[in-house]
Amino acid sequence: MKISIGMNLQSGPWGGGNQFGQALVDYLQRQKVDVTFDLRNPNLDLILLAEPRVNLKISAYADKEIIRYLLLRNRQAIVVHRINECDERKGTQHVNHILIKANQCADHTVFVSTWLKTLFFQHGLPSYKSHGVIINGSDKTIFNPIGYHAWDRKTSIKLVTHHWGGSWLKGFDIYERLDQLLATEPYKHTISFTYIGNLPKGFRFHNSTYIEPKSGHELANAIRQNHVYLTASQNEPGGNHQNEGALCGLPLLYRESGCMPEYCHGFGISFNPDNFEQKLNEMMTTYPQWVKKMLDYPNTAEQTCTNYYTMFTELLDKRESLLKQRDWMQSHKTILRAFIPNRLGKLWQRITK
């Protein structure tokens, strides 16, 4: 099996998409799969379109390059588009459009959550095309409960969260609220909160501990110094941060938003902005029953990569039927757009709207 993964993988602290790419490459290579990161090989079996926004450092190529490859070099390669982003996550206005446009070249689409799949179908992505959902997972060799000490109920309970992105929608309405609570009774003597990662511009904590971004074992060790993992992220497509906290053994206190109910159900307590304090108190009361469950948390990188490998194999088994469904091959507009340079391409899009 020959696969091209459209990612420029980065080292050090980075976002969840990069972590996914590193784990997938490692897994595929252990299965003796030939993995590349460009479209030079004329005999590719599969192409994974992972990031069509070419202005991002992690993007290796986009849909236009894939279409040119299919038309000029190899029409037998199956294209899988992994969608793991949306405008709703950061309050942007262009991401959904870019991803829907790029999806035209895909033979199969894989979403990182059911919530995200539903969102894109509502935005007009064709639901009749081949698609599926594979949940993200984190590396259990790094994020595990070895060294985690459960709360003894005699000291303050320690909450922690971490984010690479510094968007306000990462949950800072709740993190700021918690920070303010920690200056009041009874919370100032019973709870502490640590935030690891990047912050919104100009934001600072007053009653919480702030730690700059970490990755790998250093991050896992920092997470394990706490008792409960809090995530207040809004419209999260398929986050990894809650997976990392859960795999370190920490029960989850998670917002009822985006993918979180799908990822976290059964391993902690959900909340919304109206009942946060109530659910925080509930976690303190019921903590022992949750901590016992965390060893069974299922969202590991190994499981995610196994699911991708199975998906790739199944797609190749039905290659002929997938190739017959390529409706974009009949679209002169899509084909022409793939051969027009970017600046002229934007003009062409305005003309042909």
DSSP string computed for 263-298: HHTTSEEEE-TTTHHHHHHHHHHHHHHHHTTGGG--
Residue 13 has pLDDT above 60, yes or no: no
Domain locations in the chain as residue ranges:
2-137+301-351, 157-296
Cβ neighbours of residue 179 closer than 8 Å, sequence gap 6 or more? 193, 205, 206, 207, 208
d(CA 349, CA 238): 31
Q: 10 Å Cβ neighbour count for 124?
A: 10
* Same fold: 2-137+301-351 with 157-296: yes
- Average pLDDT over every residue of 338-350: 60
Q: How far is CA 186 from CA 54, 183, 191, 293, in A?
A: 50, 9, 9, 28
Q: Which amino acid is at 104?
A: Q
Outline where 205-352 has alpha helix (H). Answer: 216-223, 241-247, 260-264, 276-291, 301-317, 319-323, 332-338, 342-351
d(CA 163, CA 240): 9
Q: 10 Å Cβ neighbour count for 353?
A: 5
d(CA 214, CA 220): 9
Res. 11 pLDDT band, cuts 50 70 90? confident
Q: Per-residue b/e over 204-225, b at no fewer than 16 CB within 10 Å?
A: ebebbeeeebbbeeebbebbbe
Strands 108-111 and 78-83, bridge-based pairing: parallel
The tokens for 229 are 């993992």
Res. 348 pLDDT band, cuts 50 70 90? very low
Which of 32-36, 133-137, 343-347 has the least mean pLDDT?
343-347
Average pLDDT, the chain: 94
- The CATH homologous superfamily for domain 2-137+301-351 is Glycogen Phosphorylase B; (3.40.50.2000)
Give 67-97 pLDDT, tens digit per residue.
999 999 999 999 999 999 999 999 999 999 9
| Nearest to 48, CA basis, from 95, 98, 82, 8 | 82
Residue 351 has pLDDT above 60, yes or no: no
The domain at 157-296 falls in which architecture?
Answer: 3-Layer(aba) Sandwich (3.40)
Measure the CA angle with vertex 188, ends 182 and 189; round to 5°: 150
What pLDDT was estimated at residue 340? 75
pTM above 0.95, yes or no: no
Of residues 250 and 18, the one with the higher pLDDT is: 250
- Average pLDDT over every residue of 230-241: 97
